Amino acid sequence: MHSSPCSPKVNHMTDLLEHPRGAEAGKPGDRSAFSFETITRLSPSAQGLGRDGARYGRTGIIHTPHGDIRTPAFVPVGTQAAMKAVLPETMKELGAQCMLANAFHLFERPGEDVLDAAGGLGRFMHWDRPTFTDSGGFQVLSLGAGFKKTLAMDVTGMKSDDVIAKGKERLAFVDEDGVTFKSPLNGDKHRFSAEISMGIQHKIGADIMFAFDELTTLMNTRGYQEQSVERTFRWAKRCVAEHERLTAARLGKPYQALYGVVQGANYEDLRRHAAEQIASLDFDGVGIGGAIEKRIIGNTCAWICDAMPESRPRHVLGIASVDDIFACVENGGDTFDCVAPARCGRNGAIFTRFGRYNIKRAEHKLDFGPLEEGCDCYTCRNYSRAYVDHLLRAREINGFTLATIHNEHFFVKLLDDIRDSIDGGYFEEFRDESLAHFYGK
C-alpha cells in the first residue's frame, strides 16, 4: 500500500533509536527489556570439559533495548564509536548484529558528556542495533605493563609483578580504590574506579557494559593473581551498587545490562573461585577475560560456565583466532569481540576459509581475482587482490576500507555458520572441516 502525500514518513532507524524497549519518560529503565533465551544446546560428551562431561555451547538470543543478538555472534570493535575506515551502514550490510566501543578512549575524546547529550552511543554513531562498551579494565594492562596482546604469551621462566613490555613506560598504576592513568594522548593524569567507570559507561549509553576489573598478565606471580582476583571482586560489588543507583537516578533511559568479569589467569582454582564470586552478584551476564594460555582456553570457559546460571549470556573478551573461537563456543562462549580483523586488514593480512595470507606479497600484484573465492562480501564482489594490494601499498584509506570489510565479514559469517551448525546438529563436523581447511591439516 502506498502512502498518500500527507501521510507521515516513518524513519525506522530513527524510531528505533529514539524509542528503545523499556525506556519511558520519568521512569528508570525496565530491566525486563534485557534477557537471554537459549535455543539449542550441545549435548554432553565424553570429551566435554564441563562438569559431568557438559559442553556449554549453545545458540540463543540476547534481547536488548535496541534489538536482538542471535548467538553465538561476533562483535566488531569500533573503539572510538567508529570502525576505522568503514561506515556503520556498511557494518550492518556485512551482517554485524552489534558493535563494541571502548569506554576509556571515549572518555578521553569526545568525553562521555558529549555522548550523553547526543542520546547515547547508538544515536551518536548512527547505529540502530545493540552496542557494548568495555569498562577500561583492559587499559590497566595495556597502559600498565604495555602488552597489547595477552593471549598465548610466552612466559617460560618469567614471573614478575613489575614486568614491562620492551620499550614501554608504565602509564597505569593500580591501588585498592582504582587505577591512575597517564593519558597516551597528552600525558594528562586520569582516575578510574568502579564508580567512575559506571558513571562513564552509563553516560555512553551502550546496551551492555562491563564491570571495572583488573587485567593481569600471565607473567604476574601466583600471589599477585590471588590478590587481583579478590580486588576485582571488591570492585565488582561496588560496580553493581553504583549501577543500581545510576539506573534508578537516570530516568527515561533504557536499561543497560551489566556483565561481571571473571579473571584468574591460567589457574583453574582461581578461575573457578572468581566465577563463583561473580555468579553470586546480581549481574546480567559474564565476561570471560584476562590473559589465558591458548592450550587451555576451552577449559577456562568450561570452568567458568560450571558456576554460571544458564540465563546469563557469556562474552569472551578479545578473541579472534579461528581455533580459539571454536573451542570457546563449544565450551560456552556466546559473543566474542576483537580488534584483530580490522587491525590485521589494515596491515594487509586477509582471513579466508583456507587460512590467512598477506595481500601485499608480490604474487598478488597481478592477481585480478577476489580476496577469497566464493566470498560474497562487498569487497570480493567488486574488487580484486591486485587493487587492494595497490591501495594498501599506497596507504590509501580505501584499501583499509576494503580489507576491513572482508575481514569483519569473515568473522561475522564464521560465527553465523557456527550458530547454524549447532542448530542443525552438525557442529562437530563443521568444526573439524573448518579447522582442517583454515590450518591446512
For 87-135, write each residue's pLDDT tens digit.
Answer: 999 999 999 999 999 999 999 999 999 999 999 999 999 999 999 999 8
Q: 197-228: per-residue pLDDT in tens?
A: 999 999 999 999 999 998 887 888 899 899 99
Band (pLDDT 50/70/90 cuts) for residue 8 is very low
pLDDT > 90 in the chain, percent: 79
8 A C-beta contact, residue 385 and residue 369: yes
* Section 173-195 average pLDDT: 87
Q: How many CA atoms lie within 13 A of 73 on its CB side?
A: 21
pLDDT of residue 14: 55
* pLDDT > 60? residue 341: yes
- In the annotated binding site for substrate, the residues are 134-138, 213, 263, 290
Q: How far apart are the first and last CA of the chain?
A: 55
Alpha-carbon gap, residue 48 to 325, rounded angstroms: 16
* pLDDT > 70? residue 239: yes
pLDDT of residue 149: 45
pLDDT of residue 155: 45
- In the annotated binding site for Zn(2+), the residues are 375, 377, 380, 406
Written out in words, the top-level CATH class of the domain with range 33-338 is: alpha beta
The 3-state DSSP class for residue 287 equals strand
pLDDT of residue 6: 41
* Section 151-168 average pLDDT: 53
CA angle 430, 434, 439 (to 5 degrees): 155
8 A C-beta contact, residue 8 and residue 58: no
pLDDT of residue 153: 43
Name the DSSP letter for residue 408.
H
The 3-state DSSP class for residue 400 equals helix
pLDDT of residue 182: 79
* pLDDT > 50? residue 238: yes
pLDDT of residue 184: 78
* pLDDT, the chain, mean: 91
* Section 279-293 average pLDDT: 94
Q: 49-63: per-residue pLDDT in tens?
A: 999 999 999 999 999
* Section 259-272 average pLDDT: 97
* pLDDT > 70? residue 189: yes
- Of residues 282 and 152, which shows the higher confidence score? 282
Range in 149-153, 165-169, 314-318 the model is least confident about: 149-153
Alpha-carbon gap, residue 159 to 6, rounded angstroms: 72
* Section 409-436 average pLDDT: 98
Alpha-carbon gap, residue 172 to 189, rounded angstroms: 9
**Positions marked catalytic:** 134, 337
Dmax of the chain from CA atoms? Answer: 75
DSSP character string of 244-281: HHHHHHSTTPPP-EEEEEE--TT-HHHHHHHHHHHHTS
pLDDT of residue 159: 54
Range in 6-10, 158-162, 219-223, 426-430 the model is least confident about: 6-10
Domain residue limits, the chain: 33-338, 339-441
- Of residues 178 and 171, which shows the higher confidence score? 178
pLDDT of residue 221: 86
